[in-house]
Amino acid sequence: MRIGIMIGEVRGPATADDLRAQAAAADGLAAVWSAQALGWDALTALVLAAGQTPTAELGTAVVPVRQRHPLTLAGQALSAQAATGNRLTLGIGAGIGAMLTGMYGLAADRPVAYLREYLSVLRPLLRGEQVEHHGEMITAVGTAAIPGTEPPPVLLAALGERMLRLAGEAADGTVTWMAGRRTLETHVVPLITAAAASPPRIVAGLPVTVTADVDDARERIARYYGMAARVPEYRATLDREGVAGPGDVALAGDESAVARQLGLLAEAGVTDFAAAPFGTVAEQARTVRLLRAVGAPGVPDNRV
């Protein structure tokens, strides 16, 4: 299992210098991931991070697509691809329904059908092709080609059965958030694997903290990520896991305990772990040190 670190607002408010420092601390790990939240643009954050970790994969986890026409997102993604030496992996998703309707006034219905059509347009654009698409939900005519760029792999945020099947059929894998080990092993991995023509990537994103006070850490995680326990998209996943909230699926404990939990995720079929270090500055630094010890490529016997 490859280990990467999430940077930016998923860990708290972040300046440009914070993003660079977080990426530099992750240097040597397999990947740096950035989520699209309410401030930082995820692709821009990765361009900032690229100079701090010259070999890591740079992935969005994820960019909601209802707000970005496929021609727009293709141009942005290929621009980031050109700026980072073709290291981008583009994770996309349907977005949280309540945010789409409440903040943007956009429709949030039929997410699987919308993503299926969106991918049918986006992927040719990422290959530099001209498209002329007049579909049920999307019209796109044009190209977003940028010389010297390679089409980035595309991952699809998926938690429900139909979206997981679409991720296997039309994307290179999936990115999950707040899916616990049981859900990953018994639901996510079997469904996407059955639908995919070749072994898919399964990127699991979770908060993680190396700490001596596990109960306190889980309570703080539950408060900080409390929205995930209330919105239907994540509530259904937490219910499937049989837990109350994000604090129950986070990885927490001392170094040996968190290392064991990482091993269990690998055994469940997770190919990539996107860690969101949580806590105080000292706790996050301790967490990053453990992740580097376990997952930094090139160090003997350090891969989960």
What percent of the chain lies above the pLDDT cut of 70? 97
Domains assigned to the chain? 2-295 (3.20.20.30)
Question: What single letter denotes the amino acid at residue 263?
Answer: G
What is the reported pLDDT for 297?
Answer: 52
What would the mean pLDDT of 290-296 be, rounded to a whole number? 89
Least confident of 10-14, 104-108, 235-239: 104-108
What is the 3 state secondary structure string of the chain? Answer: CEEEEEECHHHCCCCHHHHHHHHHHCCCCCEEEECCCCCCCHHHHHHHHHCCCCCCEEEECCEECCCCCHHHHHHHHHHHHHHCCCCEEEEEECCCHHHHHHHHCCCCCCHHHHHHHHHHHHHHHHCCCCEEEECCCCEEEECCCCCCCCCCCEEEECCCHHHHHHHHHHCCEEEEECCCHHHHHHHHHHHHHHHCCCCCEEEEEEEEEECCCHHHHHHHHHHHCHHHHCCHHHHHHHHHHCCCCHHHHCEEECHHHHHHHHHHHHHHCCCEEEEEECCCHHHHHHHHHHHHHHHCCCCCCCCC
The upper half-sphere exposure of residue 151, i.e. CA atoms within 13 Å in the direction of its Cβ, equals: 14
Hey, what are 253's tokens?
């404990």
What is the reported pLDDT for 304?
Answer: 55
What would the mean pLDDT of 81-108 be, rounded to a whole number? 88
Is there a contact between 101 and 107 (Cβ–Cβ < 8 Å)? yes
What would the mean pLDDT of 176-180 be, rounded to a whole number? 97
Mean pLDDT in the chain? 94
pLDDT for residue 299 is more than 60: no
Least confident of 99-103, 186-190, 237-241: 99-103
pLDDT (tens digit, 9 = 90+) per residue, 145-165?
A: 999 999 999 999 999 999 999
pLDDT for residue 302 is more than 70: no
